[in-house]
Amino acid sequence: MKKVLKQFLIILIGVFIFSSGIVFSEPDNKKLSIIPTPSQVNFHKGYFLLNPQTKIIYSGNNSESKFTVEYIAKIIRGSTEFKLPVKDVVKMPSKNYIFFNYIHDENLGKEGYKLDVDKDKISVGANSSAGFFYAVQTILQLLPSEIYGRKKVKHVQWKIPCISIVDKPRFQWRGMHLDVSRHFFPAEFIKTYIDMLALHKMNVFHWHLTDDQGWRVEIKKYPKLISIGAWRVDREDRLWNDREPQHEGEKATYGGFYTQDEIKEIVKYAAERQITIVPEIELPAHSGAVLAAYPEYSCTGGPFTVPPGSVWPITTLYCAGNDSTFEFIESILDEVINLFPGTFIHIGGDEADKTEWSKCQKCQARIKAERLKGENELQSYFIKRIEKFIVSKNRRIIGWDEILEGGIAPEATVMSWRGMDGGIAAARMNHDVVMTPGSHCYFDYYQGKPDFEPLAIGGYTPLKKVYEFEPIPDSLTFEQSKHILGAQANVWTEFIATPEHFQYMTLPRMAAMAEVLWSPKQMRDWNEFIPRIEVQIERYNKLNYNHAKSAYLISISASLDSVKKEFGFELSNEMQSKEMRYTLDGKEPTIHSTKYVKPFNVNKSTVVKAVAFHKGKAIGVVSEQKVYLHKALFKPVTLKYPYYKYNGGGELGLTNGIRGTKSYNDGNWQGFEQNDLEAIIDLGYVKQINSISTGFLQNTNSWIFFPSLVEYKISEDGVSYSAITHFDQPVATGHREVEIKEFSFELKDAKARFIKVIAKNIGQCPDWHIGKGGKVWLFIDEIVVE
Ligand code: ACM
Ligand code: ZN
């Protein structure tokens, strides 16, 4: 082409792009952002363009397939305002259509689908409407993320890359759980949660409807379950572990429940989205709310009130010696079974402290009559009796792994939560299993460093750890592993009171779990997941789903070169961000701050602050790491009492210049369990001393308290010490925010070789603390001498 003509054309195209305002990027077929990633993908050239004339056609006119095609039409309408006609197939148009066609293809199984996109049409083939529904999720994810917007989006071309996909799930149980007892979540949010599951091709919603702190389902035969059992006193201003029970005469005003009509609507809503609801009715423990309403079914007869917070140990159980208890539970289950059409009813079974059973005459009589060996077998008797009832209604029970103790009910499925071992044992006994080990599947655990996260129950399960979860243990044979139906994430809500916070805890971790459960094991690749999760986060934004940015949080790893007297710093985050920026002057990093390219050194006391950027914006919170180049750097420390578990950098941890963060397990804190700290630093020779400073951490939730007393002494010979100052620190009288406190003292004309620091551990948890009488930790990061 002639150069002038070429330039003219470029200008012409430029003018056209400018005037139309349309983004003309070709879809990059090789960079799909489908989550969970499909089993098989073949890329072709070109794209299908969705426009107002595109038709949606389907075969096999039934309500499920009709729902699914109308569902995609509705989502498309939201962001495009295209009113795509939806038609049962009569006559095929020649082009520009999406066709959903029932086929018979054994390889696809019950939930699989085939999707072929060419320039003229999109064809979906599946054995079932579930396959159609999952194909719809994939089609939406092949479109720009703007498709999820609820209002018309301009200037987007709705291109779908030409592609062939054959896809089906790895596991049949792809579950997400929600505890609505510890905090109640309104029916409208339950539907949003179901939408969240649908987006991720999850197919089981485990609805934890009952627990000590609230009964949430209307049972017509027993109205007190909701008039009493659904309400507790409002102690939301106090931490979960720190709430007084209901006082005499106090009104219970906090809670809620679902009417049977609401539940029916939610069950239908879920079924339309190919999601089965597994209701959980806890027994024999976690029944405090039921027994507050109907104390006659307990061992002691009560009275009880619905606890507004933590209960531990869980001793209030249904009485297993009383036949009327079983009649009561069976009548409840009758109504529950009528409401929930799925195969499984979850009967709990976890965490029963059987003290009351051991004291109850009726329970003991039952043990004798049934020739049981103690209370564990009584629990087994309880579950077996309930299983018999549920099986008589053509349903199956599933329970937490405690149901293995004392002998598992013959047809029970086990939900393995205390690690994988319960699941392994059950599979070896030919029982079906759903894996939910706390280590990888508890989304109430922290997903980032605790000091940057909303208060959580504990633990640490970041996004990458979820992604690395493998539901099938190596120790099972191929045959045994067929009993692993799948896995699920559990979201307990002791520390989660609002839908926004709930979404924060579940997203984006649900995306990682979805890929574990849907995609072939060999296709899981964290590096390749990262760019896709970034697009998934854009989708969450379009859908107004709150989500965590914790995986962007930067870890600042500091080390000291004691010869060069330099600190080395290395920055990293789970998302392997290309753009991390940092400062060394204490200021917050901005887009103009230094970009991190490789590890760097600093030869003075400093604070490094760092944050990741994505598309030009800081994302998540700023991390910081302080280091001090001081006189006692790398000087030997003698401890009178040893540190335990938390070594804070080892023998020279208190003089390595590296300060701790608010995360007690960041590696920079030295921990003393119940012991005092008594440390002597030897500076090598007598020096001028200008100041001494120590840093202590308090995290009352983790049983870490400030010392009650901090004392500094100095000596020239290491024999006779003179006291120079002490600090009294009052003991916390209730839970406090996590805090670091410096105990600093300036000296005048002081000379010393030896410095002694004494810090008194308060010893035992105070009376107000859940760990009352238990061993308290003392955490110190550094002794800074200037
Ligand atoms: C459980 O977390 N108690 C099943
Ligand atoms: Zn009893």
Question: What is the mean pLDDT of each successive set of 10 residues along the chain, which is 786 residues long?
Answer: 39 37 47 95 96 93 89 97 90 94 97 98 97 98 96 94 98 98 98 98 98 98 98 95 93 98 98 98 98 98 97 96 98 98 98 97 98 97 98 98 96 98 98 98 94 89 98 98 98 98 98 98 96 97 98 95 92 97 97 98 96 94 94 96 96 95 91 98 97 96 95 97 97 90 96 98 93 96 97
pLDDT at 28 (0 to 100): 56
Name the helix (H) or strand (E) containing 210: strand 210-211
Q: How far apart are CA 456 and CA 24, in angstroms?
A: 45
> Could you tell which of 350, 401, 440 is best to mutate to test the pocket of ligand 1, judged by most ligand atoms within 8 Å of the CB?
350
Q: What is the pLDDT of residue 8?
A: 39
Contact 59, 193 (CB under 8 A): no
What pLDDT, on a 0 to 100 scale, did the predictor assign at position 545? 98
For residue 348, the ligand 1 atom closest to its alpha carbon is 4
The three-state secondary structure class of 134 is helix
Q: Per the structure block, which two tokens stand in for 326?
A: 């079983």
Provide the b/e sequence for 159-189 (b: ≥16 CB within 10 Å): bbbbbebbbbbbbebbbbbbbbbbbbbebeb
Give the integer Cα–Cα distance in Å for 625 and 659. 7
**Is there a catalytic annotation at residue 26?**
no
Angle in degrees, CA 301, 334, 288, rounded to 5 = 30
Give the residue from 201, 160, 199, 266 showing the smallest Cα distance to 544.
199
Which positions ≥6 away from 354 have C-beta within 8 Å?
317, 375, 376, 378, 379
pLDDT at 62: 83
Q: What residue ranges line ligand 1, CB within 6 angstroms? A: 350-351, 400, 417
Q: Which of 406, 410, 66, 348 is nearest to 208 (CA)?
A: 348
Cα dihedral: 383, 388, 391, 397 (round 10): 0
Question: Which residues sit opposite 231 in a β-bridge?
Answer: 255
Q: Which atom of ligand 1 is nearest to the CA of 442?
A: 2
Would you state the pLDDT for residue 771? Answer: 87
Structure tokens at 742: 């410096």
Q: With left for phi above 0 and alpha for psi between -120 and 50, is residue 647 left, alpha or beta?
A: alpha
pLDDT at 469: 98
Where are the extended beta strands (E) located within 443-509? Answer: 484-489
Map residue 699 onto helix, strand or coil. strand
Integer Cα distance of 35 and 535 in angstroms: 9
CA angle at residue 417 from 416 to 422, to 5 degrees?
Answer: 40
Q: What are phi and psi of 762, to 5 degrees?
A: -70, -10
Whether the CB-CB separation of 396 and 421 falls below 8 Å is answered with: no
Q: How far apart are CA 596 and CA 587, in angstroms?
A: 16
Q: Which of 286, 440, 483, 630 is catalytic?
A: 286
Nearest alpha carbon, ligand 1 atom 3: 350
- CB-based contacts of 355, cutoff 8 Å, min separation 6: 313, 315
For residue 360, give the ligand nearest its CA. 2
Distances (CA, A) of 484 to 409, 420, 497: 18, 11, 32
pLDDT of residue 27: 52
Residue 777 CA to residue 92 CA, distance in Å, equals 73
Q: Which of 286, 405, 417 to mutate to test the pocket of ligand 1 (most atoms within 8 A of CB)?
A: 417
- Name the closest ligand to CA 179: 1
How many angstroms separate the CA atoms of 200 and 188, rounded? 19
Catalytic residue among 118, 242, 351, 716: 351
Helix (H, G, I), strand (E, B), or coil: what is residue 663? coil
pLDDT of residue 736: 84
Element (H, E) at 188: helix 187-199
Distance CA 108, CA 117 (A): 18
335 CA to middle of ligand 2, Å? 25
**How remote is the CA of residue 3 from the centroid of ligand 1, in Å?**
72
Q: Look up 286 and say whether it is catalytic.
A: yes
**Is 447 within 8 Å of 548 (Cβ atoms)?**
yes
For residues 699 and 737, what is the distance between their CA atoms, to the nearest angstrom? Answer: 7
- DSSP 8-state symbol, 588: P
Share of the chain residues as helix, strand and coil, in percent rounded to the nearest 5: 30, 30, 45
Q: Which atom of ligand 1 is nearest the CA belonging to 438? A: 2
State the pLDDT at residue 6. 40
Which ligand has the shortest distance to the CA of 211?
Answer: 1
CA distances, 614 to each of 552, 564, 581, 611, 738 (Å):
9, 36, 11, 10, 29
CA 115 – CA 123 distance, rounded (Å): 6
Q: Radius of gyration of the chain from Cα atoms?
A: 31
Backbone angles phi, psi at 163, to 5 degrees: -165, 155
Residues paired with 205 in a beta bridge: 176, 277
If you search the block for the tokens 């597994």, which residue do you land on? 278
Comparing CA positions, the residue from 683, 690, 655 lying closest to residue 782 is 655
Task: Please report how many Cα atoms fall inside a 13 Å half-sphere around the Cα of residue 523, on the Cβ side.
Answer: 18
- Write down the residue that tokens 């719809």 correspond to: 136
* Of the candidates 570, 607, 567, 614, the residue with the CA atom closest to the CA atom of residue 591: 614
Q: Which residues contact 560 (CB under 8 A, 6 or more apart)?
A: 566, 567, 568, 627, 633, 634, 656, 657, 658
- Note if the bond before 599 is cis, omega within 30 degrees: no
Dist. CA 163–CA 41, nearest whole Å: 7
Q: Mapped to the 3 state alphabet, what secondary structure does 221-239 carry? A: CCCHHHHCCCEECCCCCCC
* Ligand 1 pocket: which of 282, 287, 400 to mutate (most atoms within 8 A of CB): 400
Q: What is the 402 CA–ligand 1 centroid distance (Å)?
A: 10
CB distance 747 to 690 below 8 Å = yes
704: which 2 tokens? 């870490």
Residue 179 bears catalytic tag: no
Specify whether the CB–CB gap between 35 and 141 falls below 8 A: yes
